[in-house]
C-alpha cells in the first residue's frame, strides 16, 4: 500500500515507518523536523519537510503520492507548552489535523490511523478506575489533551460525513530508542540522557505520580495491525501497569550505575497524578498485546548499538 506518515522523522513515527517498509509498503514521510530528526529517517522512505499548516503544499504531496492510508503522528506533544501557548497547540493539533482530513477526503484515502494520547484524555482518574477503559469519561486537564480529543472527534465526524475509516490509538507513555531527551517529552529519555552525562535529573512534584510505560516496538506493531483492523475504533495501547517516576529513576540509575540523587521541583500545572490503561479492546480488535516489560525495555533503550553506521546517537537503534 501507499502510505503517508506525518511525524515520520520523530521518535515513534520513525519506528512505524521502519515497520511499514519492512512489511513491503511504500512510505512517504511528512515532517517539519521541529522535534524529529533526519537521523531517524529510513533512507527507503520518501521525505517531505513541511508544516501541516501549509495546506497548499500538503495538497500537492497528496496529489503526487496518492496514499491509501495516512498515519498521523505529527503533533505538538508537550503538556507544558500547551498550557503556556494553547493557541499554538490548537493550530498544530487541530488546524494541521483538519488540513490532513481535507486532503484525505479529496484524494480518497481509505483510512487514517491516528496517534492519540491516553493519559491526557482521561485526566485524573481515581485509583479504583485504573487501568481505565475506552469508555471512561474524557476529562482533559490541559490544552494538549483537549486538542488531541478534539481531533479524535473530527475523525468520528468525518467517518460519518465522508465514509473515511479511522483507528484512533490512545497511547500510554511511550519510551525507547530514538526518543530525544532534549526534544519530545519522555521521562525515560530525559533521565537516561542526564545520568549518562553524570547529572542529576529533575523530578517535578514528589515523584510518586504514576504512568503506564509502553515500549515503542509494541506501539509500532499496533500500527501495523491497524492497517487492516479495528475500523472506526478508539483503542487504548498500554500495559495496565502503574510505575512511579521515583521507581523509573531507581531502575535507570541501577542499570547505568548512577549514584546521584534527583532534584525535586514543584509539580507542573496540567499534569495528571496517575495513569494506566486497560488494553483488552486492543487484544479483541487488533489482536495486540504488549510484549516488552519495563525492565527489558530500559535495557534495550540503553544499548548503544547503531542500526545505521552513519549515526552517532547512542539512543538510536532499530528495534526488532
Assigned C-alpha cell, 213: 510505560
Which residue among 114, 144, 166, 249 is the active-site one?
144
Q: Which residues make beta-bridge pairs with 264?
A: 203
Active site residue 122: no
CB 71 within 8 A of CB 113: yes
Please name the residues in contact with 269: beta carbons below 8 A apart, sequence gap of 6 or more.
83
Rounded Cα–Cα distance for residues 2 and 37 (Å): 23
Assigned C-alpha cell, 71: 498515519
Rounded Cα–Cα distance for residues 160 and 162 (Å): 6
Rounded Cα–Cα distance for residues 277 and 288 (Å): 14
164-174: b or e for each residue (b if 16 or more CB lie within 10 Å)?
A: bbbbbbbbbbb
Q: Read off the DSSP letter of residue 72.
A: E
- What torsion do the CA atoms of 260, 263, 264, 269 make, to the nearest 10 degrees? -130
If you search the block for the grid coordinates 519506528, which residue do you land on? 15
- What torsion do the CA atoms of 130, 191, 248, 263 make, to the nearest 10 degrees? -100
User: Among 175, 216, 225, which residue's Cα sits nearest to residue 20?
Assistant: 225
Catalytic residues: 144
Amino acid at each position: 500500500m501507499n502510505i503517508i506518515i506525518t511525524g515520520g522523522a520523530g521518535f515513534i513515527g520513525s519506528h512505524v515507518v521502519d515497520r511499514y517498509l519492512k512489511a513491503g509498503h511504500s512510505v512517504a514521510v511528512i515532517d517539519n523536523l521541529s522535534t524529529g530528526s533526519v537521523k531517524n529517517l529510513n533512507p527507503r522512505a520518501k521525505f517531505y519537510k513541511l508544516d501541516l499548516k501549509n495546506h497548499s503544499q500538503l495538497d500537492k504531496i497528496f496529489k503526487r503520492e496518492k496514499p491509501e492510508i495516512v498515519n498521523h503522528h505529527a503533533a505538538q506533544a508537550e503538556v507544558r507548552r500547551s498550557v503556556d501557548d494553547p493557541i499554538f497547540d490548537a493550530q498544530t493539533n487541530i488546524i494541521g489535523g483538519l488540513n490532513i482530513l481535507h486532503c484525505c477526503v479529496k484524494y480518497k484515502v481509505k483510512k487514517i490511523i491516528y496517534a492519540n494520547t491516553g493519559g491526557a484524555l482521561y485526566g485524573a482518574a481515581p485509583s479504583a478506575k485504573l487501568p481505565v477503559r475506552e469508555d471512561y469519561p474524557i476529562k482533559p486537564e490541559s490544552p494538549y489533551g483537549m486538542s488531541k480529543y478534539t481531533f479524535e472527534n473530527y475523525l468520528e465526524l468525518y467517518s460519518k460525513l465522508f465514509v473515511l475509516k479511522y483507528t484512533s490509538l490512545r497511547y500510554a507513555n511511550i519510551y525507547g530508542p530514538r526518543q530525544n531527551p532534549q526534544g519530545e517529552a519522555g521521562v525515560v529519555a530525559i533521565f537516561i540522557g542526564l545520568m549518562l552525562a553524570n547529572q542529576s535529573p529533575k523530578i517535578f512534584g514528589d515523584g510518586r505520580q504514576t504512568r503506564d510505560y509502553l515500549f515503542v516496538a509494541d506501539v509500532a506493531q499496533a500500527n501495523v495491525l491497524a492497517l487492516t483492523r479495528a475500523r472506526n475504533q478508539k483503542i487504548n495501547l498500554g500495559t495496565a501497569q502503574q510505575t512511579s517516576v521515583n521507581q523509573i529513576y531507581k531502575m535507570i540509575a541501577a542499570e547505568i550505575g548512577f549514584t546521584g540523587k534527583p532534584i525535586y521541583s514543584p509539580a507542573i500545572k496540567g499534569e495528571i497524578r496517575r495513569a494506566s490503561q486497560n488494553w483488552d479492546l486492543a487484544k479483541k480488535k487488533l489482536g495486540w498485546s504488549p510484549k516488552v516489560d519495563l525492565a527489558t525495555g530500559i535495557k534495550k533503550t540503553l544499548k548503544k548499538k547503531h542500526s545505521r553506521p552513519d549515526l552517532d546517537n547512542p539512543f538510536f537503534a532499530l528495534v526488532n
